[in-house]
Structure 1
Amino acid sequence: MKWFAAVLIAAVVVGIGIALWVRLAPTDPSRWHVAPLVRQDHDYAAGVIRAVPGTAEDLERLDAIIRATPRTVHLAGSLDEGMLSYVTRSAFWGFPDYTTVVLRGDTLIIHARLRFGRSDMGVNKARVSRWLDQLGRDA
């Protein structure tokens, strides 16, 4: 019975440690505020890239939409730069997802991806789809 209690306590301590790391791990903007190399729609296990027609005004509107998203904060970039990056955290565990939006010519490129794990289970794709719906673009 003592070994069971010890294993249980160890599991709780490890779980708390992981939860704290996920929430408190430092974010290096130079790692995440990077223009996506792919310039076309692309779905993958860790995120999504969407390319849609857009203007500087659309970038400004999208910035407002993203900033209004719960648990989302601006990480780096500016409208003048034509590239912005954000961090959105999951409600319970606080897992960070990073999104970079770039205006290249007449195309908005949105790259949303996870930081921890191998699969975001479609969370970034769904979030980007909601943003594009609010912007009036097909996802």
Structure 2
Amino acid sequence: MTVAWVLLTLMILGVAFIRLAPSDPVRWHVAPKGDADKDLKGGVVRVVQAGQLGLKKFNTIVQADATTRVLAGSVDEGMVTYISRTKVMGFPDYTTAQQDGDTLRIYGRLRFGRSDMGVNRKRVDGWLRQLPSSAN
């Protein structure tokens, strides 16, 4: 019985750590790299021709997501990093979007674990489906 209580306590502490661990903008607010879409084991890279207002439009879409908030940056700076938390366990995922001319580069990735089971791909692609297709 004692082993069960110890395991339960460890699980609770683990979930608390995941939910309460600070997010360091220095580590997570980094420019996305790449010129092509990539599906990664723990995330996704998307490169979209979105026009000069791509980041502004993308930011509006992301800000409407109740599970997501800005971690660092701004549209005016040309790069924003968001933190999204899963509804049940509160696992944090980070998405950085950067405007480069008409190109919008997006990098969504997990913080804990090795695989996100496609969660970041689904989230980022869902946001991009809402992005108006016009160049400006």
Tell whether the structures are fold-level matches, with TM greater than 0.5.
Answer: yes
Which of residues 66, 88, 95 in structure 1 aligns to 2:84? Answer: 88
Work out whether residues 37 and 47 of structure 2, in 8 Å CA contact, stay in contact via their aligned partners in 1: yes
Give the number of the structure whose residues are more often helix, by fraction.
1
Query: 5 Å matches for 1:1-139?
Result: 5-136=1-132
Task: With a CA cutoff of 8 Å and minimum separation of 6, indicate the structure with the bigger relative contact order.
Answer: 2
1:77-110 deviation line (CA, Å, top 9, x unaligned): 1111110000000001100000000011211011
State the distance in 1 between where 2:54 and 2:45 align: 17
Instruction: Tell me the percent identity.
Output: 48
The alignment of Structure 1 onto Structure 2 pairs a total of residues equal to 133
- The aligned amino acid for 2:8 is V
Runs of 4+ in 1 over 2 A off after TM superposition: none
- The aligned amino acid for 2:32 is P
State the distance in 2 between where 1:10 and 1:46 align: 30
**Deviation at residue 10 of structure 1 after TM alignment:** 0.8
State the distance in 2 between where 1:88 and 1:9 align: 31
1:25-77 deviation line (CA, Å, top 9, x unaligned): 01100110000222321111100000010223221111011011121010111
Computing the radius of gyration over CA atoms, which structure comes out larger, 1 or 2?
A: 1
What is the SS of the residue equivalent to 1:102? strand
